[in-house]
Amino acid sequence: MKKIRHFLCLLSLIPSIVIADVISDNPTFKAAREKLVEKNIAGQGIADPKVLAAMRSVPRHCFVPKRLASKAYADTALPIGASQTISQPYVVALMTESLNLSGNHRVLEIGTGSGYQAAVLAKIVKEVYSIEIKEKLHRESSLLLKDMGFSNVKTRHGDGYFGWQEAAPFDAIMITAAINHIPPPLLKQLTEGGRLILPLGNPFSYQNLTLVTKTGDNYVTKQITGVLFVPMTGHALDN
């Protein structure tokens, strides 16, 4: 059964998806994924071999609703239910590369969504801790990641604004929803030299993808590019 799961991906319980259905990672999907990586990811400047390998390896069609599987390898965001989206593949790769990750790193992700970004991170780093505020998405993505064999991903239902204190510190933190400030609890959970990346700006308009690096008691920020993410909910909207 374990070997079968390496070749098949169970679809999650997101509305319009039937959990009993199984999609094979067939040659058509593999070819589409390879074309996506060559044209839209490597072709747009992503050069980290670890990131490119992860993007080639993770079957994105497993993380989108069944009705959208044929669009999984278009370089665009797609709806996954609960008013959330799976990010554009290029942005996933860009955010991942910007964190300068290695195999011994521990990463905190805020906003599990369908689990795709967590799966990409899990192909590169030692451990991924991922928090999802939407209970239904948390349940579905947790089951999917487990069924696909991502044993180095730990998930939690909760408000990611406050991070995962028991597991801190983290070498890198990724926020996958828009917020108009950098959450102080997350900054405190970074290691020395650790990096945090987030879409920073108006949650209901365009944001700047921003990289934050911890240096002693200070933090250095760098704006990367304009992006558009769904708003971070919970405590983030109360500030």
**Which residues are known to be catalytic?**
87
Secondary structure of the chain in HEC code, one letter for each residue: CHHHHHHEEECCCCCCCCCCCEEECCHHHHHHHHHHHHHHHHHHCCCCHHHHHHHHHCCHHHHCCHHHHHHCCCCCCEEEECCEEECCHHHHHHHHHHCCCCCCCEEEEECCCCCHHHHHHHCCCCEEEEEECCHHHHHHHHHHHHHCCCCCEEEEECCHHHCCHHHCCEEEEEECCEECCCCHHHHHCEEEEEEEEEEEECCCCCEEEEEEEEECCEEEEEEEEEECCCECCHHHHHC
How far from the centroid of its chain's Cα atoms is residue 84's Cα? 12
CA dist 230 and 186 (Å) reads 19
The answer to whether 144 and 197 have CB atoms below 8 angstroms apart is no
C-alpha dihedral (14, 27, 152, 97), degrees to nearest 10: -100
